[in-house]
Every structure is written in structure tokens, then in C-alpha cells.
């Protein structure tokens, strides 16, 4: 089920970058959850391109909840959110239809859909489709908050600059919730912005690493063998455009540790089992252990760059060169943060329902 | 569906480390695929503990195909493979029932199954369950070979030692198919073995990184938004015990590149579209592009170590110390290779059926 | 997945009777299928209430295909159809919120959704939701026609009057495709209409039996054990409001036959295996055998009637009486025909993809 | 997922009539459910052929629970039940491989599996596969009993003779639980047996109708639009070999009623909402309303009969005649009762978990 995800709660995503509307349908939500349109708008604003770091395309994201909500609360029947595409300028992309952009889905989409896909602006593959994910994610995040569960994501690295690691999660998450540029150390943040600007001025693009923490989670989420927390989360995290890797806890650094260093010893604390360290990122055997869930994704540099690139012409089956006009982000890492929060919230709400 | 994976082809895994039998059921296989029991036995041998690098438990893996095969070929109806547990010594683990081993699933399994889980040897969480995966994987790998698709995995890093990167994939895969210790550079291999032995003698354990290459794949496998090749593969790769991270192509190193460095330009080669480089690991927009699929997993050091560790007593709700007796591997990275090949083969065969 | 159906192709339904829009998302369609909006409008017209036999509510069904179609053909990515609710008169139903209508989903919906469901006009349970099914069904039916497969449904019995059985399926299906009142024998049709009118004038409602034939199907659709053609079709047929039974071939009459009467002998005909009779309705062992697929559903009389009925007040937990105002059909059997064709087309297209 | 059924709990069925073992895997069961092997054996005995009414094949059904149970209770991990095929006499059926038996799955299975299916005794299609369903069903039924929910099935009609309808369900279910020939009226039962014997002596076979009642169910099971109780149950009921129709409540008789006759008025009774009648069989809008769930299936006469039948030779593509030797039931209706109870229990336990 390519565009539907989830087990007990399902999310179905539809639309194209330059179609009239894009949206998603969420089924299986508990009845009675509050749906706060102001909070949805806030989360959408965190995903929106900001100033000179991002694409100049204005995306006001005028969303409508057309089903599944009655008097401000979920009904328990499918919730559909629609977002209109008001600022589409299809002309910019039409010349790319036959010359796939390197690093994009143009070529693979052409093969998969045998030339029938909507070629405008990436069509169904467009990052624009993450807007409904973020809108629905606001509902999921609010529902988790009601249960004492908080999700936050910061830019761990970007354009060669590192942020400080997570510290006090309650404080860090409060800060990130309203941070347009989600870094914890402001000095690092300024240097990152400067580095991104420099990349942009060079007509190039930058990647980075997003780190997410979730706290307040109960132990017991996830299941052997295939629906591990790590497996289910990574499945959907790789749907965030440009994500090419996912790691939990110490991640790839665990390759260099010994078991005596990597194991997280348990102890009782106020009648509750806790781990003394968190090298495993809150997951043992694929199931949450009650410690903060910690993971990172790597976001590759945006493939749309100003320089001419070598490609092929799919009609003439010959080599070609392409120069990408239109609007594009030098770095989508800041915006991807809102998407990472959203899909994480979805997975956790679904896993909680399965307990 | 916790213990069932797949869309067109499904695999259901069952059993406990010390139960009478473990096994799996595979449904949706094309009728007429050859089932070669010799090849199944060969792949199981690659997973089996070897000499002093691994647990002393002897696992002859006497498997039986009890359904879905008639006269040496798949029938198209569910194929069930059973493996008997002949060398179970349940006593070794029974004393651990109340004192969860750090880094293992003991505590999270206790919470999830409310104390009803089989406590012997990790029960359903045991790495023993990977044996049926490898057995079934042999059938999948053979079916892929018939279609010109080859999967191979080597130890990229282990215990601080690096193997050389993949070179000529046809040669490397031929070599790895029969390599008991799967490294490409023999000198590095000897140093790795020595390093693992040293770790073992210190009563400790080591982790590593497994790198997989798949060649001969058509373009067009995987689908937006949620069933990307990366997402589906990572979902199941995290089921391999101790895997804590997955990355495709250049993976986390992409964070440090510019778009101009990370994009893989296209060109025509013998009438076929190829990419000049492979930073994206054979995947664009979540769909294979016909280049080799390349990914790596990190395998954390085995949590079972000789040293006493701090834990809790779940009955008395007090702090405790545990010393793990029994048999355990100082490093499961070499054995995990066969599992990684197997689950990769499963995912690809399933995605191919969906084309 | 309550509101999503299908294996290879999935259909997700959303909306409420009096919400702004209702719709569905279809994922997994082959790219390149023609989408003919005129044919969609035609099929919607067959579902629309006609004259005095049906509710007086005017439903122009202004549909929009907002994704998944480009230049008149499916793209292969999710296809979303939206239909606006232009003639909603919520006031009519609001007084029923606490006094569930007998025979409707009001009470069970109240229990299931704990009072949070949209109470207007049946909310998500409304027969109005069948409009997007019929709209999408037009695309499925056209795709099947391209493959030589035709679906047609007539009213086999209604209000005590029987239609003639199917005869020449090619002729019968041509006739039914454009028949506003779908009966094969016109004299029976007139008597049915008169009987329905008489029931309506008595403030009561009538039920009936719909019989469907599908011809041109290949042998081999459906699979043991659980995804039999009969099982998958009946699963979705029971979603048609008021359907309370499904039978294939001779159906319940088979209870009275002997094996020697019920078996359909095979013979070769023009190099093709055919059955001499069709007591099994084109299905053996849950799989199509190439003969016409024949089944019937029973549609109970519409629960909305004019007479006062005994019910309960869910707020005061006391007995109550209810009189249903608003608009309601004396008989939905003629309109349900279009829905039965649509969901049948969906199931068959999905099963064909799985071959 | 052809051979896997269920949403929260899944059941996967495997095996062939004459393979070494058949079985099923059940995943998602709550941990801590009692597993009583005596009760499993009892339920299997109700499915076993009895005396002269059924096939002479002796099926001792020696089952083994090989996973998912520890100390007599479910662990919450996959439960696998294996049953050995001890009395296989493959020779009886081998001559049928090329000449499909009318009314059986031989021809459709041949087409679907392109000639690779195990031809012995119906292979994977064999009614023998219902034994693991009944064994697992015993666990489901016991779990439901713990929650106050009872399922019982009687032969409503068979070989032209009718049983009395359900009366006091508590008494009727107690009686049926131990009735080898499940009829409520003993005189009717004797006449049925005599009628079946007469049919058998004529070398022919008989069908019938099975009626099931479930009481103690809460309101709120099932969900719109597609996972109605009726839809989900019928999906799996059609997996029972020979079932060709399913109806709920008054079923097909509803076609002849008026709305004023078919609606079930509500009233308060001891603080609980009840319906005064039960024409809808305990289901409104696809969701249980707390009244007894009532449904019937029609079981066609066993296709295996003594008389020679016309068929085709699939090798030579010519007409042929077949005489079925081997052992066969003149009437499987009494045995199918245990299967109907079992699959009903499965569906209800799954739906309860989804509440």
C-alpha cells in the first residue's frame, strides 16, 4: 500500500505539486481528540520556507479539514485535510519533462509510471506533499502531548556546522517548538545560516543531520520481529525527501564500541526501571524501554542546484545537459524538521493504539 | 502484523529459542521456483557459529520443508520451513528470568508480554529465529539469481578494522558466496579475526558494519510515498538483532557534501540510462534507478558479555547484579551477514512482484 | 483498515453526509488508464434518486478529480475524487441525535464513537458516501471493459415482484448500462414501480434482491484460503448500506440439491475449458473458472419510514418514540445497483492485478 | 495476503492434504490466555468424520503446539499448531491430476498455479486444512467464553429436513457444545441422518444450511465502511469449503418485508438498550448492537460423488469422464459446524481487540 501507512491508524497521502489540491486521509483516530486549527497553522509555518534559506515560492498552505471532525474534535471516522495549491507556476518545470534532474525522482518516476506521471514540479514526488503530513502531524502531536509524550527535532549538523547535543529535553523541546531555525545553540545556528547562505550564493546546496528526541513514552511500544520501533519509524522516515540514513541511539558509532561500553545498565528509580545510560536510544529488542527515544536522519543536499548538469534526453535517448531554473531550496534541512516531527508522531500514536 | 512482513509475498516467523521447533511460512511465491535443499543448507552454514568467534552452541539446523513444495518446485501455496531445536539447554538461561540482561529484549519483552513470555534463551526474541529467515532466504536468493539479480554482503568494519570497499561486484559476490568469514581483503580479515579474539578473551564483545551490494536490479522498484526501497528495506533490516542504523549510498557522509558533489549525473551507455557515480546507492526518490543498490547497517556489540552488570530484579523491584553464564558470541557480525542477504532478497522479490 | 479496502489497489473512503466534501482516494491503479468524466457522470446518474421512487433530495454530485490524472489518463499515483455536498439541510436530522432510528447505524455509531460522531444525516454512515464509490467505479468499469470484462446488475426481486433471469449477457448488459430502472423484463418493471409507489404511499419502504453477472473474466482470480473471490467480494458487498446477505451461483438453493445436480461438468469448447452448467456461479474452490460470475445480494427495506417508531433517548436513558421527518427513499434497491457494479469492479480489478 | 487473515490478530494457514504436516500460525493473541489441549482435542473431535455419515478416512488429528505457549498460557508471540498427516493414501487421488473433478478446485487450482500445485487429495485446497482452524478456534472460543461470549452453530436444514430454530441460547449452546450431530430437535436430527444415509446409498451427496448464534457480544464491534461485522465474517466464512452464501438476521427473507416489519425497535431494559426484535441479526450499520449475532451459511452438496461425471483431460485437451474413487463424505454439513464456530471466534476476537 504505497501511499497508505500505518497499522491501526492509517494515513493516505495524495496529490501533485501543481494539481488543484493535495491532502491526506487519516483513519482510525480515537474519537474525541481536539483538533486545533491554530496549532495546525503553527506547525505548517515551521515547514514553510523562511527568508533567503529556502525557496522563494510562497506557500500559504490554506488547509481545510473536510471530514472526521465535528465541533472541534475528531469523530473517529476518516479525517481528510485538503491544501490548495495557490501559487503553482507549472511553466518553470515543464521543460524538464524529458531531461531528468540528477538526484531527483524524475528518471525513476518516468520508468515506474511509464511516462504517464504528472511532470510538473516533481508531480506526486514533490516535497510539497509533506505539507499535509505536517498538518495531520499537528493533530498527532497534540494527542501525544495529552498523554505526556513530547517530540522535538533539531539540526544536529548542517553545512559543516554542528549544533550542541540535546540537554534538558523539557527545555529543549519548549524552545524548539517555536524556533523557526531549529538549533539549540544560537551561536552555532548563526554560523549554520551563514554557511548555508554561502552555499546558496555559490549556486550549490547543503545537507545535514536531524536529531529527534521523544520523551514521556511508555515502555512496550513496538513488537518483534518485524514491527520494531526502529523498523517502523525508519520505514516512514525514508519517505521524507532526501533522507538517506537513519540511526538510533549511538547509531553507527556503536560499531566502534565494546559490549561493556554499549550496554545500558538498569536500575530502579522512584519505583520505576530506568537505564543509567542511553546508548540504545530508548529501544531494546525493537521495543521502547521508557528512556527517551533518540534517532538521527541524514538529509542529503538538495539535488536542485544552479550549475548545469549532465543528464539524458529520454525521448531521443541521447546525452543532454540541464540547467534547473525555477525556485529551489539551497538547504531543506530546517524545513524537514517539521516533517520528521510529524511522521514520528504518526508512528508513535499508531504503536500506542496497538498496545 | 508484527511477525508477518511483505506485501505481495508475505513471510511469517514463529518459534522460541528453546521450543521444540521454529519456522516460517512464506506465502505468495510464484509457482515453479526451484527449491534446492543443498543451497538452503549452504546458506544456513554461513549463518552457523564458526569456531572460536562465535557461541559454542552447536546448531545443526535440521530443516524440513513441510508444505508449498512439490517435486522440487514451489507450488504457489504457502511454503513452511521447520527447524528443530535439538541442542537446547534451557537451564542456562532460567536464572535470568527476573533480572533482565542490559542491552537485550528481556526487560522490554517482560513489559510487553506482561510476564507471560517464554523466558528461556530470549524466547521469541532469540537470534535463533534468524535461521528460518536464512533458510527461506536461500529460496529467494536463488529466484533472484534466475532473474540476473545478485546480493552480497561483506563486513565493512569490525572491532576497529576496515575491509576494502566493494570493487568488481561479480567477482566480489562470487567470493563472498563461499566465504565463511565475509571480508574482501584477506589481510584485513585476519586482523579482524585477531581483534575479535582479543575482545573475546577480555570477556567483551565487538560490533561492526555490514555493507550490502545488489546488482542486476531493474529500475522502477519501490514506490512513493511510503514504500520506498529504502523504507521497506530498512523496516526489515532493523529486525536483524543488534542492527541500530541503516544508510544508503554515501549515507551519513552526505551531510558533509554539496549538491554538486552528491548528485549522480546520468548518461546513455549502450542504449541504457546509467549514472556516472553512485552516491545515492542506486535509489532516486525511493525507487531503484538500475545502478547497484548499496547500503550499510551498523551491528552493535553483542550485549551478552562476561563481566557482571548492573540490572534490576523485576520481582522484588530492587537493584541487582547479573553475570551471564551460558554460551554467547563475542561478535555476531559475521553471522548476521547471511541474515542481511536473506531479508534483502525477500524485500526485493516482493517488490519485483509488485511491478 | 476500516475505510480502506483492497490488496494491490486500495480505495479509501471519507466524508460525512453534511460535511463540505466527501470523496475517495484510489492508489495502485495502473498508469495510462483513460479517465472519462462523461462516463463518471453517467454512472453517477444511475445512482441518483429518480422521480418519486426515491428521496426528493437533489444531489447533482459535482465531482472533481484532484489528483492522479494527467491529460485524461491515470498517472499511477493516488487518484482522489471529491464531491461537494451542495444540498445539505442539516436541520432535518439534528433532532434525531439522541433518539436512534431503528434499523439505522445511529445507535451502534453512538456506542462505537462514544458520542463524538457527526450526527447530521447519518454522518459517515450515510448512503451519500456511495457517490464517490460509484464515481471511482466508473474508472474501474472502463478499465475492465478494455480487458473485455463486463459487469451488470439488475433488480431480481423488489416489493414482491420478480424480474426475469439473465439471458444473453451481452444484450442484457448493454440494456442495463443505460436503464434508469434496471430490470430486464419491462412488464415486471412497471409492476415493480407500481408496487414501490404503493409502499411509499403507505409511508412504508420495500427491499429487494440485486443480481449481478460478470462475463469475460479469466479463470484463476481469487486465492485460497481467505482471499476467495466470494470472500473478498462479499466483504465489500456488505458495505453497501442495507445489504444483509450474499449468495453465489444457486446460493441458498444449493442446500436442497444433490451433488449430482449441483456439480457443473466440464467440457472443451473451441479449445477452452467450459462448464456445461453454472450452479457454482463461475467459482470453484474460491477461484474463478472462466464462466460468468453470478451473485445476488439482498437489500433490506430502507429503515426510514413515516410511521412513529419506538426507540430510546440516549441522554435520558428512557424509552422514546421517534417520527422521521426529512427526505427518505421508499426503496433504495434501484440506486444500489450502481454501487454494486462499482464495488464489484473494484474487487475484480484488484484481483486481476494480483495474478 | 491470501492465506493470512485478520487485522489485530492474524492467522496464517499452510499445508497440503498429503504433505507431512499442516498447521497455522496465530499472531497478536493477548498474552496470558489459557491453552487447554483437552478442549482443543474436543473441538477437533466435533470436526472429525463420524460413523457412516462421513468419509472413512481416519483422522486422529495429533496436534502439537510448537510455539507461543508457555506453562499453559499464551505468551503473546506467534502460536503455531502443527497437525501430522498420518493416514495419507496419496494413490487414491493421483489419477485425478489431469481430469479435474467437477465442483472442486482442481481445474481452477491448475490454472492459478500453472500445473505446479500438489495434486494429491486437493493439495492445499483440501478440507483437511480446516483441522488447524478448528484447533486454533478452540483457543479463541475459550478466550471469548472468559469474556462472556458464546458461539454455537446448528444444522438449520440438511438433505431436505429442517431443525427447529434457536430458542434459549444458553441452553441450546450448552447442548450443541457436546452434540456430535448438531441439531436442536432430536426427531429432526434422526430424520436428517436417515436422509443423509439414503443419499449416501444412492452414491450421491447432500448440502444444507448452518445457522450460528453468538450471544454476550458487546455493542460496537465492526466499523464502516469496509470492516463491517457482516463483511469481515462473510470474508472468512466463504473460506469454509462448499459455502456459497451468507445471510444475517432474516437475510434473504428481508426482500419480502416492509421497513415497518424489518426494523427492530429499541427499548431500555435494566438500564441497557435492547432491540424488541432481531430481524437485523444483531447488526446495524455493520456494527454489533448487543443483540445476539445471527447468521446462516449455505453449504453445497459435497462435489465428490460416486457417479461417473463429464470432465476434460487437461493434458490432451479433450473431453473425458471421471469416476471418483477414494473416500468421500456424502455430507460435510455436520463437520463444517466446528469450522464455522472456529472462524467466527477468530473474527470476533480480532474485532474485540480493535475496540
Give yes or no for residue D57 having a pLDDT over 80: no
* C28 interaction partners in chain A (CB closer than 8 Å): 1-2
Q: Measured between beta carbons, which residues in chain A are less than 8 angstroms from residue D8?
A: 8, 354
Q: What is the pLDDT at residue D49?
A: 85
Nearest chain A residue to D227 by CA: give it: A28
- Rounded distance, CA C241 to CA D287, Å? 12
Q: What is the pLDDT of residues D59-116, one digit of tens each?
A: 568 999 999 999 999 999 999 999 999 765 555 556 667 999 999 999 999 999 999 9
The predicted pLDDT at position D354 comes to 86
Task: Calculate what percentage of chain A has a pLDDT beyond 70.
Answer: 94
Which three three-digit cell numbers place residue D77? 508471540
Check if the beta carbon of residue C130 is closer than 8 Å to that of residue D296. Answer: no
The label of the residue with cell 436430527 reads D189
What is the residue-averaged pLDDT of chain D? 94
Pairwise CB contact (< 8 Å): C15 & A66: yes
Cβ distance B280 to A234 less than 8 Å, yes or no, reads no
Q: What is the pLDDT of residue B89?
A: 59
Residue in B with minimal Cα distance to D14: B78
Q: Region C51-72: what's the mean pLDDT? A: 77
Residue C24 has pLDDT above 90, yes or no: yes
Q: Which of B10, B17, B41, B39 is nearest to B327 (CA)?
A: B17
Helices marked H in chain D — which ranges? 37-47, 91-94, 106-112, 130-146, 169-177, 186-201, 229-237, 259-262, 333-353
pLDDT at D14 over 70: yes
**Per-residue model confidence as pLDDT tens digits over D150-188:** 999 999 999 999 999 999 999 999 999 999 999 999 999
Neighbors of chain A by Cβ distance (3+ pairs < 8 Å): B, C, D
Given phi > 0 = left and psi -120 to 50 = alpha, else beta, which region is C117?
beta
Flag the least confident range among A60-74, A94-108, D23-37. Answer: A94-108
The answer to which of B58-62, B72-76, B208-212, D203-207 has the lowest mean pLDDT is B58-62
Measure B130 CA to nearest chain D CA, in Å. Answer: 15
pLDDT band at C62 (very low <50, low <70, confident <90, very high): very high
Residue D52 is predicted with a pLDDT of 55
Which pLDDT band, with edges at 50, 70 and 90, does C49 fall under? confident
Mean pLDDT, chain A, rounded, equals 94
Lowest mean pLDDT among A29-43, A45-59, A301-315: A45-59
Provide the 8-state DSSP code for B80.
E
Using a cut of 0.95, tell me whether the model's pTM lies above it. yes
Interface of B with C (CB under 8 A): 8, 77, 224, 354
* Chain D residues close to C209, C-beta within 8 Å: 252, 255
Chain B residues close to A100, C-beta within 8 Å: 266
The confidence score (pLDDT) of residue A86 equals 78
Main-chain dihedrals φ then ψ at residue B309, nearest 5 degrees: -130, 150
Share of chain A above pLDDT 90, in %: 90
Q: Which residue of C has its CA nearest to A83?
A: C66
Is residue A58 over pLDDT 60? no
Q: Do A319 and B267 touch (CB under 8 A)?
A: yes
**Residue D109 to residue C57: CA distance in whole angstroms:** 49
Domain boundary assignment for chain C: 4-353
pLDDT of residue D59: 55
Q: Which of C329, C330, C310, C313 is nearest to C321 (CA)?
A: C310
Confidence band (pLDDT; 50, 70, 90) for C52? low
Contacts of D103 in chain C (CB under 8 A): 259, 262-264, 280, 284
Q: Kindly report the length of chain B.
A: 355
Residue with cell 545498565: A265
**Helix, strand or coil for residue B200?**
helix
8 A C-beta contact, residue A262 and residue A254: yes
**Residue among A220, A262, A309 minimizing CB distance to B112:** A220
Mean pLDDT of C245-267: 98
- pLDDT given at position D61: 82
Which secondary-structure segment (H or E) carries B298?
strand B293-299
Nearest to D181 by CA among D149, D154, D146: D154
At residue D341, does pLDDT exceed 90?
A: yes
pLDDT given at position B53 = 57
With contact defined as beta carbons under 8 Å apart, do B32 and B70 qualify?
Answer: no
**Between chains, do D20 and B113 touch, taking CB under 8 Å as contact?**
no
Which pLDDT belongs to residue C121? 87
Contacts of A16 in chain C (CB under 8 A): 67-68, 70, 75, 77
Interstrand relation of C4-5 and C10-14 (parallel, antiparallel or unpaired): antiparallel
Q: Which CATH number fits domain D4-353: 3.40.190.10, 3.40.50.880, 3.60.150.10, 3.30.70.920?
A: 3.60.150.10
Which of A200, A205, A228 has the alpha carbon at shortest distance from A288?
A228
**What is the spatial distance between Cα D234 and Cα C244, in angstroms, rounded to a whole number?**
11
pLDDT by residue (tens digit) across A166-193? 999 999 999 999 999 999 999 999 999 9
The answer to whether the beta carbons of residues A319 and A310 sit under 8 Å apart is: yes
* pLDDT computed for residue B86 by the predictor: 78
Nearest to D77 among A77, A224, A354 (CB): A224
Q: What is the pLDDT of residue B242?
A: 97
Q: Say whether B294 sits in a helix, a strand or coil.
A: strand
pLDDT higher than threshold 80 for residue A101: yes
Residues A298 and A296: their CA atoms lie apart, in Å, by 7
Please say if the pLDDT value at position A92 is more than 60.
Answer: no
Q: CA distances (Å), D245 to each of B349, C231, C340, D208, D271, in order?
A: 37, 10, 17, 11, 37
Distances (CA, A) of B117 to B12, B109, B129, C175, C307: 19, 7, 15, 63, 58
String of DSSP letters for C19-50: SSEEEEEEE-PPTT-B--HHHHHHHHHHHS--
Those chains having 3 or more beta-carbon pairs within 8 angstroms of chain C are: A, B, D
Q: How far is C111 from chain D (nearest CA, A)?
A: 6
**B118/D75 touch (CB, cutoff 8 Å), yes or no:** yes
- Is residue A244 within 8 Å of B230, Cβ to Cβ? yes
- Answer yes or no: is pLDDT of B54 > 80: no
Chain D residues in contact with A77 by the CB 8 A cut-off are 224
Please name the helix (run of DSSP H) or strand (run of DSSP E) that holds residue C321, with its range, or none: strand C318-322
Confidence of residue B304 (pLDDT cuts 50, 70, 90): very high
Average pLDDT, chain B: 94
CA distance A1 to B8: 10
pLDDT at residue C273, as a whole number: 97
CB-side neighbour CA atoms (13 Å) of A19: 32
D77 interaction partners in chain A (CB closer than 8 Å) = 224
What pLDDT is attached to residue C329? Answer: 87
Residues belonging to chain B with any Cβ–Cβ distance to chain D shorter than 8 Å: 1-4, 10, 12-16, 19-23, 25, 27-28, 31-32, 64, 66-68, 70, 73-80, 82, 112-119, 123-124
pLDDT at B329 exceeding the cut of 90: no
Chain C CA closest to residue A114: C31
Cell 433471469 sits on residue: C165
The predicted pLDDT at position A266 comes to: 98
Amino acid at each position: 500500500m504505497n501511499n497508505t501507512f500505518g497499522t491501526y491508524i492509517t494515513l493516505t497521502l495524495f496529490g501533485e505539486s501543481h494539481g488543484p489540491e493535495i491532502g491526506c486521509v487519516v483513519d482510525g483516530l480515537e474519537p474525541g481528540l481536539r483538533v486545533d486549527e491554530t496549532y495546525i497553522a503553527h506547525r505548517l509555518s515551521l515547514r514553510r520556507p523562511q527568508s533567503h534559506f529556502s525557496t522563494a515560492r510562497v506557500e500559504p498552505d490554506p488547509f481545510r479539514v473536510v471530514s472526521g471532525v465535528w465541533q472541534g474534535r475528531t469523530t473517529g471516522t476518516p479525517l481528510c485535510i485538503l491544501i490548495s495549491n495557490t501559487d503553482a507556476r507549472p511553466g518553470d518545470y515543464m521543460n524538464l519533462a524529458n531531461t531528468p534532474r540528477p538526484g531527483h525522482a524524475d528518471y525513476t518516476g518516468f520508468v515506474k509510471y511509464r511516462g504517464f506521471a504528472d511532470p510538473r514540479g516533481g508531480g506526486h514526488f514533490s516535497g510539497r506533499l509533506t505539507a499535509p503530513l505536517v498538518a495531520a502531524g499537528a493533530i498527532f502531536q497534540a494527542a501525544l502531548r495529552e498523554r505526556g509524550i513530547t517530540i522535538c527535532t533539531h539540526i544536529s549538523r548542517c553545512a559543516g556546522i554542528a549544533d550542541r547535543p540535546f540537554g534538558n529535553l523539557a527545555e529543549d523541546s519548549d524552545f524548539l517548538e517555536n524556533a523557526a531555525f531549529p538549533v539549540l545553540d544560537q551561536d552555532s545556528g548563526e554560523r549554520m545560516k551563514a554557511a548555508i547562505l554561502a552555499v546558496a550564493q555559490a549556486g550549490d546546496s547543503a545537507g545535514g543531520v536531524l536529531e529527534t528526541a521523544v520523551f514521556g513514552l511508555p515502555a512496550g511500544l513496538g513488537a518483534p520481529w518485524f514491527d520494531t520501533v526502529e523498523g517502523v519509524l525508519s520505514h516512514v522516515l525514508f519517505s521524507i525527501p532526501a533522507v538517506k540514513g537513519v540511526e538510533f541511539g549511538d547509531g553507527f558509532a556503536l560499531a566502534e564500541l565494546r559490549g561493556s561500553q554499549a550496554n545500558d545498565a538498569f536500575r530502579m528509580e522512584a519505583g520505576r526501571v530506568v537505564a543509567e545510560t542511553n546508548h540504545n536510544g530508548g529501544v531494546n529488542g525493537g521495543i521502547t524501554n521508557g528512556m527517551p527515544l533518540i534517532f538521527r536522519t541524514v538529509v542529503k543536499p538538495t539535488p536542485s542546484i544552479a550549475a548545469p548538469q549532465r543528464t539524458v534526453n529520454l525521448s531521443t535517448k541521447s546525452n543532454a545537459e540541464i540547467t534547473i531554473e525555477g525556485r529551489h531550496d539551497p538547504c531543506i534541512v530546517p524545513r524537514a524538521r517539521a516533517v520528521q516531527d510529524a511522521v514520528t508522531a504518526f508512528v508513535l500514536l499508531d504503536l500506542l493504539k496497538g498496545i
